[in-house]
Structures are given as structure tokens and as C-alpha cells.
Chain A
Amino acid sequence: MTALLEVRGLRVVFDGFAAIDGLDLTVEEGELRFLIGPNGAGKTTLIDVVTGLTKPTAGSVRFDGQELVGRREHRIVRLGVGRTFQTATVFEELTVVENLDLADSFRLPLRSLLRRRRGVSDAVAAALEAADLTALADKPAGVLSHGQRQWLEIGMLLVQRPRLLLLDEPVAGMSRSERERTGELLHRIAATHTVVVVEHDMEFLRKYARKVTVLHQGRVLREGSVAEVQEDPKVREVYLGRAKGKAVT
């Protein structure tokens, strides 16, 4: 196995507060990795740094051997790193199919972008299918429910065929049945992609996670299987000490 994502000595300071403080993380090609940790542990900040949204104070992020720090967001996407956001953001005035088509077209030269879309590409049709949105294809994305927006966003990510997918709380705010469908979708995606998932939902984690990394105060606290992590006294302390409701039991 080769490392696809290597984070070394990462430090991110906001106004004197270290959101990430000397973090090292390695994600192998083909892995499905869950990132957990109490609020403020630095999970989303980590994703923001990898995708170029936040500039780190120090450290390096290498993707397939290439340094990502200092590159602009769309360049990082073009290297093959895709992400979703905590609150799914889709283009509400465009139809579902247009959203997916834009995601699919980013490699097209300007000349082809200036043409009108004719029909639906295979990748877009497959993503519509995977996200279970075929029936809503020509509806504006603004009418979608919260869960459907998350799926559309995941679908937009899939048509881009990234090598690394970073999903930021994909099941937050979803109903139980929506969570299950998202979990299935996640497993299907993970079969062919390298995926990093930030998630708070413990039930979801137990059901779908393989390897888990626990972050705490901007550092890696523990890394291992779900069972290993759950039994670790330090992890228990962090979670129990902070918020009883989120106990890892």
C-alpha cells in the first residue's frame, strides 16, 4: 500500500489559537478513514487545509507526492481531491442535472464550455442513479430536501472522479432512513475510492467505519479500529469529559 495523503507537522493558528497543533496523518490508497473528535478538535480545519481553503501556519500536506499547501482551491480539485461541506451547498437555481453536469465538465476546455449541453453524459446518469435523484433530474436543486442535497453533493463529487474524497459530516441532520442510505452509498463509493469522513454520529461510525482516527485539541489522540478506539481510556475521557451525550459506548 502507498500513502495517498501525507500530513506532516501541520499547524494552523487562528488569532493565537492553535486549531491544529502538530498533526501527522497518513491515509493509504483505497482506505475508508473516519475522523472523529470533540468539537474544536480540528477535523474540519484539517479538511479545509487539505483542500486549500485555509492556509496553514506550518507543516506540509502531500497528495500522491505533490505538495498541496500554497496551491489554489481549484488546482487542488484538478489534482484529484474532492470535498463536501457540512451544510451541503448546491446551486439552487440550476437543475439537479445541471449541477451534476457542471461538476462533470470541469476538465472541458473553454471552447466546449461555450456550447450548450446536449443530453446527459454517462457519468452524470450514473451519479443521478447513485444519488437516487433520477426522478428529480430536471427540478431546480433548490426544491431538494436536506438529505437529497447531501446526496446531490456526493453525486457531484463522484462525477469528478477524484482520487481522494473528503466528506464533512455527510449524515448530520439526516433521518434514520436517510442515514442508512447514505451509509450504503458510502460503502459503494469506498469500494473504488479513497475516502476520509468526518463524522460525529457514533451509531453511524460503528456501523460503517473500518479505521478511525481520533483528533483532540488539534492532534491525533488515537488511531485504530472502531473497537480499539472505543476501548481506549484516553478517548473515553476526552468524550466523557467534554460532552456526556456523545460518550463512546
Chain B
Amino acid sequence: MTLGRVSLVVCVVLLAVAPLALSPFRLGLLAKYLCFAIVAVGIALAWGQGGMLTLGQGVFFGLGGYAMAMYLKLEEAGSAGLPDFMVWSGVEELPALWEPFGNPVFALAAVVLVPGLVAFLLGLLVFRQRVRGAYFAILSQALAAAFVILLVGQQGLTGGTNGMTNFTRFFGLDLSDPNGQRAVYAITALVLGLTFLVAKLLVRSRFGRLLVAVRDGEDRVRFLGYDPAVVKTITFTVSAVMAGLAGALFVPVVGIISPALLGIVPSLELLVGVAVGGRFVLAGAIAGAIAVNYAKTVFSEDFAEGWLYLQGGLFVLVLVFAPKGLAGVVESARLRWGRKPAEVVA
């Protein structure tokens, strides 16, 4: 067995025993980190493999999260009632936009399709015009800012700044019950596993090779007869769907969705984990996302003000001294001390 396989088995075992070993509170935190890890897989695809520095993954995370939250709120309110925040803001009738979200199938489809469709249309528009590099990064960041403004402004529709919270049930599971929480954790871990598998298959396929080619020489790819805009749009869409799924799971895991969780800063934080772990290696991105968010919890518990500086410093250190992240450090160590050269693609 290769080192990669061994670590994969170890990780699966660790995730499997976590519900037995951790308190419900800690398990909930782990589930939250796993949500961010799902986003990280998507960022590693778009940024690491495809060269698209997306600073606005919070938007897709939010679209998935709000779609899920709307369903949960309606389920809770029952057939006649209104979601609690609407009552507080004086809304008397359920807005038309909300109507279809009472249907669980529609809501689950929206979790995937809404972020996917937004990313697809945006990608087609932007990549066709050959917007790339820093310009794409700025554009995606502006999108995150605009999205937050939109959410805050629509108090009656979205709960405004407060967002939505106080979720009690998730498809029949009681979210206040430790068993319910364990089930939500298990679903999250499973979705992370599936996301990783899909990304891995994509990276190893011809399409994955083409994606790397687009990253390293977009103009050259055109002269091989491919349209780079299509390749980038597909990848960007896949990464957005992953963020959407993560957002949808975040709602029952953490129990809240609000604009503060998906603006510019949270979008950047998602990126920091990927950079630290190593954006060129999927497993590295996952490890980075979990590690950075764990560190955030630990440091925030003890000295909250220090964390931002630490995070910023970490980001700069990694970009300057280990641009390939922890995965890159492991890779060079393996090349130096290991017998056989490691696989470049992981």
C-alpha cells in the first residue's frame, strides 16, 4: 500500500470513531470543519487544478445554505404558519419565492442547482470574455460583497443581518438530540467522502489533464482545438455545487445561516485553509481546511483578538515559503527520504 492509501484508511477510521470518542459539542465542531473541507475540495479543483482564484465561494455556500434553511423553516412552521423571523419583521403572507421551498425534493434540488446554475452562467459570461487571473479574483470577491448586501437588504425574505437560526429538526432528525447530531455528522462525513471521490476522478480523467493544461497555457489549449471557457465553466460549476452542498449541511450542523458567514472575509478564510494545506493536492486542501478551522476554534477560545493576526501571518508564511502548502512540504520530504518518487497528482 502506498502512503496515500494508508493515510486515506487512517482518516476514514478516525472519522468513523469520532462520534464515539468526542462529546456532542466537539463532534458538532468537527462536522463544521468537514463542511469547510467540502468547500475546500471545490476550491482545490478551481484554484489548484484550474488556476481560477475564486474569492467568492461564500456566495455558493450561502445559496446552498439559504435553500436548505428555507425548507427547514417552512417544515418547522407547518402548513399554515410563517417562519419565525417573518413574523418578527411583520410579513403577513408567505412570499412567492418561498412557496416551492416547502417541498423537500425541490429544496434539495435547489441546494445543488441554484449554486450550479449561478456559477455556470457567470462562468460562461466571464470566461468567454477571457477574464482571468487577478481580474477574475476581484470579480468573484465583488460578487461576495454584493451578495451580502442583497441578503441584508431583504429583511422579510432572508432574515436580513440575523439570517435564520433556531433550527430544531432536519428531515425527521431531532437536532437537539445527540443521536440526531451524530446522524447529521455522519451525513456530512459521507458527503465529504463523495465530494473527494468525484474530485479525484475528475482530476485523473482526461478532463483533469485538460484543466491543468488550461491553467498553465490557456491560449495554447485553444490551438489544440478546445474551448478553455467551457473547461473552466464546467470546473467552476462543479466547485460551486460543492460549496452549495457544504452550505446546506452547515445549516443543520451549526444551526445558523447568516450573511456574516458568507461575505468577503469568510470566503477568504475558506481559501486560507486550502493554501495552507496545499491547493494542488485534494487531500492537502481538506487537511488544511480542517486544521485551520480547528486552530481558529482553539485560539478563539483563549485569545480571540490574536487569531486574525495569526491567520494572516500563516497565510503570508505559506505563500512565501511553501507555496504548495503542507502537501508540498510532505511531497518534498518524500522525494528526499522516500525510495520511490511520489505521484504528482493526488
Contacts and interface: CB of A to CB of B under 8 A. Distances in A.
Contacts of B344: 93, 140
A113 B222 contact: no
A116 B224 contact: no
Contacts of B222: 72-74, 77
Given A94-B212, A160-B224, A102 B206 contact: yes
B84 interface: no
Interface in B159-213: 201-202, 204-207, 209-210, 212-213
A101 B206 contact: yes
Interface residues of B, number: 21
A204 B146 CA distance: 60
B216 interface: yes
12 contacts: A74-B222, A74-B224, A78-B225, A85-B220, A101-B209, A105-B206, A106-B224, A110-B234, A112-B206, A114-B206, A160-B224, A160-B225
Interface of A: 51, 72-74, 77-78, 82-83, 85, 89, 91-94, 98, 101-103, 105-108, 110, 112-117, 140, 156, 160
A77 B212 CA distance: 20
Contacts of A115: 205-206
Given A73-B222, A77-B225, A106-B224, A89 B209 contact: no
B227 interface: yes
Please name the 3 residue pairs, one residue from A and one from B, whose CB atoms are nearest each other, closest first. A106-B225, A77-B225, A73-B222
Given A101-B206, A105-B206, A114-B206, A91 B217 contact: yes
Nearest to A156: B224
B337 interface: no
A93 B212 contact: yes
Interface string B211-247: 0110011001011111100000010000000000000
A72 B36 CA distance: 39
Secondary structure type dominating chain B contacts? helix
Contacts of A77: 222-225
A216 B61 CA distance: 58
B253 to A, nearest CB: 31
Contact of B223 (A83, A91, A105, A116): A83
Contacts of B227: 72, 74
Nearest to A83: B223
Contacts of A103: 224
A116 B202 CA distance: 9
Contacts of A106: 224-226
Given A89-B220, A93-B344, A102 B213 contact: yes
Contacts of B226: 74, 106
B205 A114 contact: yes
Contact of B220 (A91, A105, A112, A114): A91
A115 B201 CA distance: 8
Contact of A51 (B207, B213, B216, B223): B223
B303 to A, nearest CB: 42
Nearest to B215: A93
A101 B207 CA distance: 11
A108 B226 CA distance: 10
B216 A91 contact: yes
